[in-house]
Chains A and B, each alone.
Chain A
Amino acid sequence: MESSVLLFYVLAALILISAVGVISAANAIYSALCLVTTMFGVAGVFLNLGAPFIGAVQVIVYAGAVVVLFVMIVMLLDLKKKERPLQSRSVSSGIKVAIPALLVGIVVAAAQMSIDFATQEGAAQSGGFLVSTKELAQLLLSKYLFAFEAISLLILVVIVGAISLARSPGGTHVGPQ
């Protein structure tokens, strides 16, 4: 058992246990904390797959900003009461659990049975493929320039939208400015 195999299984266990924790935790804060560990696990898998920059950006954006936003909203809305998530009527929740399980089984089997286009060459040189940030940036600003600019505009729209939605009447500053 090589170390990279063990590492993959440890990270996969971390991701899946935390993901199940997200959807089945009693308190919303525990869900958010399990989401953080899921993000860490996914960042670890990115590092394993030779994408260190994307892994670090995953930690900065997701674990360091998006989930913090979730946690702050939970604290703002002061949700302390616990709810029991998996106790509703048996038939409908049974269907809701069965459908994703069926999906996973079907697609995994399909992937197994399909032609191995990747593992024939991929198995020979796995590892040692580390994308440098410079190459990513060159690709981002040449081939995907339009998408880059479009997403900047999208972020601007989202900022203006979120502020106008969450604005309190009268502004946030006290006294004359």
Chain B
Amino acid sequence: MGQDGFETTINLIKLLLIFLAMIQAVPVLVWVERRGSAFIQDRFGPNRVGPLGLMQLLADAVKFIFKEEFSPNKSVRAIYYMAPVAALVPAALALGALPLSTPIHVAPFEWLGRSWGPYTFEMQSFDIPVGIVYVLAASSLGVYGLLLAGWGSSNKYSLMGALRASAQMMSYELSLGLSVVGTILVFGSLDFHTIIKAQEGFMHFHLFGSEIQIFLPNWGIFYQPLAAIIFVVAVFAESNRLPFDLPEAEGELVAGFHTEYGGFKLLLFFMGEYGHMIVASGLFSIFYLGGYGLPWVDTITVTEFFSGIFSHSTTASIVTSIFYLVLFLIKIALFIWLFMWVRWSLPRFKYDRLMDLGWKTLMPLALFNIILTASIMFLAHFIHWGV
């Protein structure tokens, strides 16, 4: 946590800020969804309340907070109230381990008569050496929110929706993990920082002794295209978004596992779902789009560029971090737009076709990807082909 009070305080504030950022992103994403879906469907979205309908989210939030807290008569109270929390917590835990930007290096400074030493603040809630496995573990805990919601509501339709949702999530978790294994093979580490650092600069490899440099950035998506596609499909199924949202199918199961929820508890479910979307977009950016880095430029060049502008090293470091944070947020925003675009364009999968896709198509493809990647890397190492 830190050697002294200053570092511990800043780290705690940072933890809180990252969690709050995920919570505050939800109304913005809801607004983007409603206006974006309206744009796709050739109609107006909310445009009465405030400029461009932006105050609509504030009105929605106020409505959610002031709604009556009820629970159905037959429901199991403890589980009914625990389920929305169990839907929100895994997304928040997973978001904490993603690196959002370069670390901030604080030079020694004088304050209150004491000299505070040099610090390094990582731009993530906590830094875990086995980052990828931790994020997979946290996402796999998202099943509990659905199951407990379905059971706690004591409602046949909710239960059916919950069982379907959990079976779907577990099936696609497999393909998710397997597609990530191919990326781990290429980059050789489970740590996020190593993966981001390995995606800097131009794409270059040795080919029979001569070094070739292509104009493409050194991103994971060019090394592992099949894994990227499998990852995208699996992550859609993981966050129960269309075209895989049969569990919350409006019109078929009333509203699936969150039928009996209203008011603030429903908002917590949505926070969990959008949180999962944000984590999935962050993971895609880190694995396949180079994380927070600029496409062809290394981190060192940009750091030196900013150090040249600002004389004080702490300010330069903070500005670099903010610059990279903005880049990361742009990539996340692009991917979230992809989520919403697909939602309003594709029809829903039937349940048995959904399970077939997960088990009979995605999993063999992911395994094939692993074998292919491993064979190519082995050949490259064996005949000194070199990648």
Chain A residues in the interface with B (C-beta under 8 A): 27, 29, 33, 36, 52-53, 56-57, 59-60, 63-65, 68, 71-72, 75-76, 130, 132-133, 172-174
Contacts and interface: CB of A to CB of B under 8 A. Distances in A.
A134 to B, nearest CB: 8
Contacts of A75: 147, 150-151, 159, 162-163
Given A75-B151, A75-B159, 13 more contacts: A27-B76, A29-B79, A52-B130, A53-B190, A56-B136, A60-B140, A68-B147, A68-B170, A71-B151, A72-B166, A72-B167, A75-B150, A76-B163
Interface residues of B, number: 25
Contacts of B140: 59-60, 64-65
B87 to A, nearest CB: 14
B341 interface: no
A7 B190 CA distance: 26
16 contacts: A27-B76, A53-B133, A53-B190, A59-B137, A59-B141, A60-B136, A64-B141, A64-B143, A64-B173, A65-B170, A68-B144, A72-B163, A75-B150, A75-B162, A75-B163, A132-B129
B137 A64 contact: yes
Given A64-B137, A75-B162, A133-B190, A56 B130 contact: yes
Contacts of A56: 130, 133-134, 136-137
A172 B163 CA distance: 15
Contact of A57 (B133, B163, B173): B133
Chain A: interface secondary structure?
A: helix
Interface string B119-157: 000000000111001101100110110010011000000
A174 B133 contact: no
Contacts of A29: 76, 79, 151
A68 B150 CA distance: 13
Contact of A36 (B133, B144, B150): B144
A172 B352 CA distance: 8
B151 A130 contact: no
A140 to B, nearest CB: 14
Interface string B343-361: 0000000001000000000
Contacts of A132: 129
Interface of B: 76, 79, 128-130, 133-134, 136-137, 140-141, 143-144, 147, 150-151, 159, 162-163, 166-167, 170, 173, 190, 352
Q: 4 smallest A-B Cβ distances: which pairs? A: A64-B140, A56-B133, A59-B137, A60-B137
A113 B79 CA distance: 46
Contacts of A64: 137, 140-141, 143, 173
Max chain B C-beta neighbours (<10 A), residue from A68, A130, A173, A174: A68
B75 to A, nearest CB: 11
A156 B108 CA distance: 59
A40 B296 CA distance: 42
A11 B190 CA distance: 26
Contacts of B166: 68, 72
Contacts of B352: 172-174
A52 B128 contact: yes
Contacts of A33: 79
A132 B188 CA distance: 13
Contacts of B79: 29, 33
Nearest to A56: B133
Most chain A beta-carbon neighbours within 10 Å: one of B128, B130, B173: B130
Contacts of B173: 64
Contacts of A60: 133, 136-137, 140
Nearest to A68: B143
In the complex, which of the residues A56, A57, A172 has the most CB atoms of chain B within 10 Å of its own CB atom? A56
Nearest to A53: B130
Contacts of A173: 352
Contacts of B129: 52, 130, 132
Nearest to A173: B352
Contacts of B141: 59, 63-64
A63 B144 CA distance: 10
Nearest to B152: A29
Nearest to B1: A3
B74 to A, nearest CB: 10
